[in-house]
Structure 1
Amino acid sequence: MPEFKENKARHAFALIEPDPQVRMVVSAMLVAEGHSVEPFDEVGEMPASWLGRRLILMRDVRGAFSRLVAMADRAHIWPRVILYADEPAPEDIASRIKQGAVGYIFTPECASQILSIVETDDFGGSFISRIKWRVYQAERAMEGLTPREHEILALVANGHTSRQIATLLKLSTRTVEVHRANLLSKLGARTSAEAVRLTVERSLMTT
């Protein structure tokens, strides 16, 4: 049995690797460091529900990351994904990072190559992946907004004050403030400005 080091973060990985030998070696490296690994042969084998629960480590074979992105779009859950290849081309690395990958490495020969990315990434890595993470979280939260809250959020995003919104919707200012507080809570936003930012980012990512 491997001896696990104390005071280290434990991570849960989904490993997508078509080569069974490489799959076994990479899994063993991570397990030896105290992490859990669920291996898969291809993207389609992994349950969509795992996207937000596990770190995705996958070989960048043709079309695989695009299929994962499509799965994430359908589920509205943006995962943290680290890609690897034996000889990654610079243009492929740039393309995948723009699509939202956390990082891109050579096929790992030791767990530290993977963990050096994971343990410095506190939210999603690249600019695009951080935005997608926030946007998907907001979209899931927005599903819980009432029609009135959606209406008020749209007016807030257009720069209207609570008093102006109250006049437009024929409500009391107090009622508008209550709706605003409720929608902020549901979106996990601390301020109206943060809620507006999420709304704008969401519209940018879906156009």
Structure 2
Amino acid sequence: MEQRTTIHIVDADPRNRAAFSRVVFNLRHHAEVYADVGELCQHMPEKGIILAQDDPENGGIDGLIQAMSDNGGWLPIIAMASDPGLERVVAAMRAGALDYLSQPADDSALQAAITRVSAEAANQAEYRRRAIEARLRISILSNREREVLDRLTQGRSNKDIARDLSISPRTVEIHRGNMMDKLGARHAAEAVRLKLEASLGDWMH
């Protein structure tokens, strides 16, 4: 008996939602359904797997991941579509989907995808959550503070940063101090670590 998993089904077509819900329940998992990404993000779930219709006209999988990130969340995604072309599958996987299913729903294919994604998600979830948290913290920085952080991550000295940005070393120190305060970083290494963790959201393809 496979572990019971909550599958969050995101699809604008109520017939598709109903069909996948039946398959999910037949597999003895639990299904939650959403008409669109906005409805999902209103009450961002913390556990489970998202089974999402890959709809390029409404942002596709990339838009779904961005919306989740904007709401401070991440869950593993299985994309789905009727007879998707290879380019579409590759685009969804590059965006961050961990698997891709063709419709109509198939019990064995869905269970295999759930098993694969659950195993992979366990390895990635913590890294992705840290990336999202780091991005949210960095998002409050001013443009100049981000420029200082970018160069600090490159190992540049205050003098080098000042020369590059055409400002004084003292001004760099002020921006650097403000940046550290906003990030809650006690020293430069912590600020650099946050920057590197944020870059994981580019998205470990």
Q: Match for residue 45 of structure 1?
A: 39
Q: Is 2:21 the partner of 1:27?
A: yes
- Does the residue aligned with 1:151 lie in a helix, a strand or coil? coil
Deviation >4 Å, runs of 4+:
137-142, 146-149
**Bigger relative CO (Cα 8 Å, ≥ 6 apart):** 2
Asked whether the 8 Å contact 1:100–1:132 carries over to 2, the reply is: no
- Does the residue aligned with 1:105 lie in a helix, a strand or coil? strand
TM-score between both structures, scaled by the size of structure 2: 0.62
Asked whether the 8 Å contact 2:21–2:31 carries over to 1, the reply is: yes
Deviations 1:136-173 (CA, angstroms, capped at 9, x unpaired): 2566799xxx9496132x33677xxxxxxxxxxxxxxx
* Alignment-mate amino acid for residue 33 of structure 1: L
* Alignment-mate amino acid for residue 113 of structure 1: A
Asked whether the 8 Å contact 1:15–1:39 carries over to 2, the reply is: yes
- Structure 1 gap ranges (5+): 1-6, 159-195
Q: 1:204 to 1:17 in 2, by over 3 A?
A: closer
Q: Is 2:75 the partner of 1:96?
A: no
Q: Match for residue 166 of structure 2?
A: none
Deviations 1:108-159 (CA, angstroms, capped at 9, x unpaired): 43232122122123243998x88534412566799xxx9496132x33677x
Q: Which moved more, 1:40-49 or 1:117-126?
A: 117-126
Q: Match for residue 69 of structure 1?
A: 65
- Does the residue aligned with 2:105 lie in a helix, a strand or coil? coil
- Does the residue aligned with 1:29 lie in a helix, a strand or coil? helix
Q: Match for residue 14 of structure 1?
A: 8
Trace 1:1-207 onto structure 2 (pairs within 5 A): 7-62=1-56, 63=58, 64-121=60-117, 122-124=119-121, 132-136=128-132, 147=181, 150-152=185-187, 154-155=188-189, 196=193, 199-203=195-199, 205=201
Deviations 1:51-85 (CA, angstroms, capped at 9, x unpaired): 43231101112224343223112122122111111
Q: How far apart in 2 are the matches of 1:40 and 1:20?
A: 9
* Alignment-mate amino acid for residue 155 of structure 1: A
- Could you tell me how far 1:30 is from its partner in structure 2? 0.7
Q: How far apart in 1 are the matches of 2:40 and 2:13?
A: 16
- Could you tell me how far 1:88 is from its partner in structure 2? 0.9
TM-score between both structures, scaled by the size of structure 1: 0.62
